[in-house]
Amino acid sequence: MIAAVGHPRLGVNLDLGHAICAGEDPLHSIDQLAGRIWNVHLEDIRGRKHHHLIPGEGDVDFAGLIQRLAAHGYDRCVTVELYTCSHRADAAAARAFAVLSPLLPSAG
């Protein structure tokens, strides 16, 4: 679709958890969309079940994903989706930050 529209402002909100749940290789998704990723959503996933987990509770290789994004020069927003944790939002956010911040050069 990006190629068909052909406009430089058309990009994606890349939800890497959804890519994993759909059976896609998230590293390949990053490679294919490099330069057109405007925002990244992260959540941990166990297997391919679409149930958002706090980073560190599932199977997602966050270091690998963040390294691949950095290799393509991605320096935009990364958000963590934790809507399944609304009953413990503060603790979930703190845990997500503790797991992800060492991997993100501009966090802190």
Does 74 map to a domain?
Answer: yes
Using a 10 angstrom Cβ sphere, with 0-12 exposed, 13-18 middle and 19 or more buried, the burial of residue 77 is: exposed
Helix ranges (H only) for 34-88 are 62-71
| pTM for the full predicted model | 0.90
- Domain membership of residue 56 (yes or no) is yes
In a domain, 2, yes or no: no
Q: What is the pLDDT of residues 31-68, one digit of tens each?
A: 999 999 999 999 999 999 999 999 999 999 999 999 99
Residue 70, domain member (yes or no): yes
pLDDT at 12: 96
Residue 108, in any domain of the structure? no
* pLDDT higher than threshold 70 for residue 77: yes
Where residue 70 sits, what CATH number does that domain have? 3.20.20.150
Residue 22 lies inside a defined structural domain of this protein: yes
Q: String of b and e for 15-40 (b: at least 16 CB within 10 Å)?
A: bbbbbbbeeeebbebbeebeeebeeb
- Count of C-beta atoms within a 10 Å radius of residue 2: 14
Count of the separate structural domains present in the chain: 1
Token couple for 59: 């199977």
Residue numbers of the domain that contains 92: 7-103
